[in-house]
Amino acid sequence: MLCSRVRPLALRALCLTTLSSNIVRPCHAQGITQIDNLIPSYQFYSNFTSSLPPAYKTITITRRDDIERLYPLILSYITDPNKANSLREVIVDTYAWPNYYACFHDEGNDLVRQEGGEELNEKRTNRQLDHNAHSALERHVTSLGLGDPLTTKIVEALAWKKKHWLGEVSKKTKGFDDNEREFAVAALIVIFSLCEKLSVLRIAEFPTLLREYLLRNNYGKLSRFGLQQLKSVEFVKETPLDNRVYEQVDFLEYVRHFGKLPAMESLSMEGVMEYEVNDLVSPGTSNIKKIHLDHSEISGSTLSKMIRSSKVLEELRVSQGGLWHLDMGAWNMRPQTVGKSLYQHRSTLKVLDLDVADFDYSDVPSWENSQFEELAESDEEYSKLDKESSTLPFWQEDIPDDRPYGFTIGSLHDFTAMTHLSLNLNAIFGAWYERKEPPFRLIDALPPNLEYLCLYGYVKGENGDVDSHVEELMQHKEKRFPRLVKIEGVDETVLGVANLYLDDNSQMEDNLWQWPELKLEWVKA
């Protein structure tokens, strides 16, 4: 019985009645040319009692009051490149942005507000600014090469905020919140294009305008590129929509938005599940070297696309389970699909942590890519650019097997770079309730330069065939693996995440994985 996939009907009904609509809803090596001679250095405020914004190394854009701080900040960035280059990290979560739940508002009530709704009928106090600074901001946006429609939208959003800042916009109209959101996205694009030292981005969702900017930036379709020193992208949720349920994501969207950036190294996500795939990525086209998917639910076909998209993959960590989801049985993962994807990186992969227990052991792989076949024929601009830059077979099935896989991830004997390996026994011996002899001995399938090994879910004495493999390894490990200094999961069982959430009891609400408490705040440089 595969308990991790089977949720009691009552629990499913509970999820359906308590989730927001968002859960069940149908995302260059060139640096930025420094802006010279656009404007002189000056203070853009006049007759304003507040001080200029300080330099920040981290900014958080998750709430209305964060958005309120962005206009003076980006004006200071356009006038002072040093201040812009002090920024290292940006955190974005649109969940609490103004009007996020507009679909639940009374259409006849113009005064509804999620937060900060006091004095809705009043105009903002007139706070004067130097108009030359705003003009420089508009010229910078125009210089990015986004094309007229996108440029116009950004410039209009900035112009609206300028009027609001000068006290010319009433808060009474319901469209106020929509304009605030549009300005927040425009400000993000300005920040990404101006702050050359930005290296960490933590983000959960991509509004349409931001998505288009990121795609054009990633695929080299701009006049001035941003995010050229971005190294790490993380999924972040300050407040999950429902902390019992996975957040829904399009995994490949993150690769398409950031994978080609020259300094890009790592992609990390936690508490997420695959919702849908809107566009594909081609093998060997991404600079992402490290992929971490913790407490996640992802199909084998999508994981395979992520793995194969990297030019050089050095680290893969995947753990399955911990939360509820609605589409039971939708994320089948065949061990041989994962193993064959990893083969592409056998000379570079240093760390593999595959904490997955609920594999699909069927012998019919053809359905795995059925969801991708139509997308593969797409004439979408960025998909075509991806395919043109790839030299590897698009479909994994077109790569001949060079080793027997059976119902396993295959032998890792020629993964010469690998030093750390953590595997659930199910990846080698089949499901716990139906162990199968693999087409190799465990000791012959391990990487030769291994330094650390962990076997998730092994219980000594539970299965004699598995015991014989482990005993053989322990008996000859010094001779076969001279660098192997630590083995876990042999004398004492190490469950791992996947085994921990296999049974029905672990799926009770009180036993679910707990989202980490995040303290997201602005940090001065």
Tokens 């629990």 found at: 11
For residue 406, pLDDT over 70 is answered with yes
Report the pLDDT averaged over residues 147-176.
89
Give Cβ neighbours of residue 180 (< 8 Å, ≥ 6 apart).
64, 67, 97, 98, 99
Q: Categorise residue 457: left if φ over 0, alpha if ψ from -120 to 50, beta otherwise.
A: left
Taking a C-beta distance cutoff of 8 angstroms, is the pair 372, 278 a contact? Answer: no
User: Which residue, among 8, 82, 30, has the nearest Cα to 222 in the 3D structure?
Assistant: 30
Tell me the domain boundaries of the chain.
Answer: 40-228
Instruction: Give the side-chain half-sphere CA count within 13 A for 475.
Output: 7
Taking a C-beta distance cutoff of 8 angstroms, is the pair 358, 331 a contact? Answer: no
Instruction: Give the side-chain half-sphere CA count within 13 A for 309.
Output: 30
* Sign of the dihedral through C-alpha 412, 413, 416, 422: positive
3-state secondary structure 394-460: CCHHHCCCCCCCCCCCCCCCCCCCCCEEEEECHHHHCCCCCCCCCCCCHHHHCCCCCCEEEEECCCC
Query: Residue 32's pLDDT is what?
Result: 35
Tokens 């040319």 found at: 33
Q: In what order do the strands lie in the sheet with 452-456?
A: 486-488, 452-456, 420-424, 351-355, 315-320, 290-296, 266-270, 232-234, 200-203, 89-92, 56-61, 523-524
Classify each residue of 463-494 as buried b or exposed e, where b means 16 or more C-beta atoms within 10 Å of its C-beta.
beebeebbeebeeebeeebeebeebebbeebb
For residue 433, pLDDT over 90 is answered with no
Bridge partners, 270 (sequence order): 294
Tokens 């080299």 found at: 220
- 156: its two tokens: 């209009």
pLDDT, tens digit, 9 for 90 and up, residues 265-298: 999 999 999 988 888 899 999 999 999 999 999 9
How far is it, in rounded angstroms, from Cα 397 to Cα 159?
52
How far is it, in rounded angstroms, from Cα 284 to Cα 385?
13
User: What does DSSP say about strands 232-234 and 266-270: parallel, antiparallel, or unpaired?
Assistant: parallel
Query: Residue 396's pLDDT is what?
Result: 86
3-state secondary structure 58-96: EEEECCHHHHHCHHHHHHHHHHCHHHHCCCCEEEECHHH
Query: Residue 350's pLDDT is what?
Result: 99
Query: Residue 380's pLDDT is what?
Result: 83
pLDDT, tens digit, 9 for 90 and up, residues 300-343: 999 999 999 999 999 999 999 999 987 655 578 999 999 999 99
3-state secondary structure of 488: strand
How far is it, in rounded angstroms, from Cα 23 to Cα 276?
12
Report the pLDDT averaged over residues 498-520.
85
Report the pLDDT averaged over residues 156-182.
87
DSSP letter (8 states) at residue 213 = H
Quote the pTM value.
0.85
Give Cβ neighbours of residue 210 (< 8 Å, ≥ 6 apart).
185, 188, 189
User: Which residue, among 486, 431, 447, 442, has the nearest Cα to 467 in the 3D structure?
Assistant: 442
pLDDT, tens digit, 9 for 90 and up, residues 44-58: 333 333 457 899 999
The length of the chain in residues reads 525
User: What does DSSP say about strands 56-61 and 523-524: parallel, antiparallel, or unpaired?
Assistant: antiparallel
pLDDT class for 175, splitting at 50, 70, 90?
A: confident
Taking a C-beta distance cutoff of 8 angstroms, is the pair 304, 342 a contact? Answer: no
Mean pLDDT of the chain: 84
- How open is the CA angle 168-124-524, to the nearest 5 degrees? 120
Instruction: Quickly list DSSP for 93-152.
Output: -GGGSTTTTGGGS-TT-TT--SS--TTTTSBPPP--B-HHHHHHHHHHHHTT---HHHHH
Give Cβ neighbours of residue 325 (< 8 Å, ≥ 6 apart).
7, 245, 246, 273, 297
Instruction: Give the side-chain half-sphere CA count within 13 A for 131.
Output: 3
Query: Residue 127's pLDDT is what?
Result: 67
Query: How many beta carbons lie within 10 A of that of residue 112, not counting itself?
Result: 17
Q: What is the largest CA-CA distance in the chain?
A: 82
DSSP letter (8 states) at residue 296 = E
